[in-house]
């Protein structure tokens, strides 16, 4: 356990220091430079710089394993035999939950619903279906760190639920710099009240905790990082689906929905996380009593 704790600490220090240095030194300046007059090329470059952040958890894993000389249990095997369900859940589950969340949101706010934007971009649905593959590389960049390294290391001495809470919180806090400068919630340091900035970071932490129950569950079931990679790609690819049905981009409050990072949009994800927590707790108690 001493070696495991050392690996966890080293991974977290390396990942946070390197990631945040890159965020503050490159990503945030590019985000702050964007304005109404920015070109598509400038916006695309800024988005690409933000996407590169996702590779730093994998860099943290590689450096940690190199320093500690431990290349065991890397969670890189597919382990497909007998594990079709977790892979299918990873690919399609988040998309289904996102669609349900969108439906709930517009049931609550029907005045914000329109099909005009969607009819202009119906091909977007096809891209959402293959999003897990399109996002495979960059989502692996994050998931090999969070679900392929940190989660199983912490799981050695903790229950599933406690591990999910801790890893999800860490994952959410890792996003804090870019969240504080407008990512996901559009609240920016220097232009919005500090209370809104803190709320945005807290909301992201809650969302990451919710996702960790699902991602951790399907990865643990397969003893592989790949179902979580697919699920992460599905979440990222489908997150903006509800925005295609808004009467205007300003119609919705990001803290509410229709994307999964809003409380209403996240309702299906919350219910699934609660179900997983109950099921796993029951199994752990049965396993403990049988011993």
Name the token pair of 90: 């990873």
Both tokens assigned to 236: 């990222």
Q: What is the pLDDT of residue 291?
A: 61
- The low-confidence residues of the chain, meaning pLDDT below 70, are 291
Q: What is the pTM of this model?
A: 0.95
Across 55-90, b (16+ Cβ under 10 Å) vs e yields bbbbbbbeebbeeeeeeeeebeeebeeebeebbebb
> What's the confidence (pLDDT) of residue 286?
87
How many Å apart are CA 246 and CA 124, to the nearest integer?
15
The 8 Å CB, 24+ separation contacts for 28-35 are 28/177, 28/178, 28/181, 31/178, 31/181, 31/182, 31/183, 32/181, 32/188
Q: What is the pLDDT of residue 249?
A: 83
Per-residue pLDDT, 200: 97
């Amino acid at each position: 356990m001493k070696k495991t704790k050392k690996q966890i600490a080293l991974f977290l220090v390396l990942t946070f220091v390197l990631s945040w240095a890159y965020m503050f030194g490159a990503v945030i300046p590019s985000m702050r430079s964007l304005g109404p007059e920015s070109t598509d090329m400038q916006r695309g470059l800024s988005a690409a710089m933000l996407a590169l952040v996702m590779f730093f958890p994998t860099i943290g894993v590689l450096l940690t394993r190199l320093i500690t000389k431990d290349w065991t249990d890397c969670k890189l095997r597919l382990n497909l035999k007998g594990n079709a369900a977790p892979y299918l859940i990873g690919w399609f589950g988040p998309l289904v939950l996102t669609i349900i969340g969108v439906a709930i949101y517009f049931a609550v706010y029907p005045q914000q619903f329109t099909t005009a934007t969607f009819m202009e971009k119906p091909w977007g649905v096809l891209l959402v279906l293959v999003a897990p593959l399109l996002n495979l590389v960059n989502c692996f960049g994050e998931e090999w760190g969070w679900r392929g390294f940190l989660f199983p290391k912490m799981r050695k001495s903790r229950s599933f639920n406690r591990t999910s809470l801790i890893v999800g919180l860490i994952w959410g806090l890792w996003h804090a710099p870019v969240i504080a400068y407008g990512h996901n919630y559009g609240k920016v340091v220097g232009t919005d009240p500090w209370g809104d900035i803190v709320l945005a970071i807290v909301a992201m932490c809650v969302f990451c905790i919710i996702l960790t129950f699902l991602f951790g569950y399907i990865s643990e079931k397969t003893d592989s990082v790949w179902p979580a990679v697919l699920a992460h790609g599905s979440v990222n690819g489908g997150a903006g689906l509800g925005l295609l049905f808004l009467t205007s981009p300003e119609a919705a409050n990001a803290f509410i929905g229709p994307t999964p990072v809003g409380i209403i949009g996240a309702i299906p994800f919350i219910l699934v996380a609660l179900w997983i927590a109950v099921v796993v707790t029951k199994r752990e108690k049965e396993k403990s009593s049988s011993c």
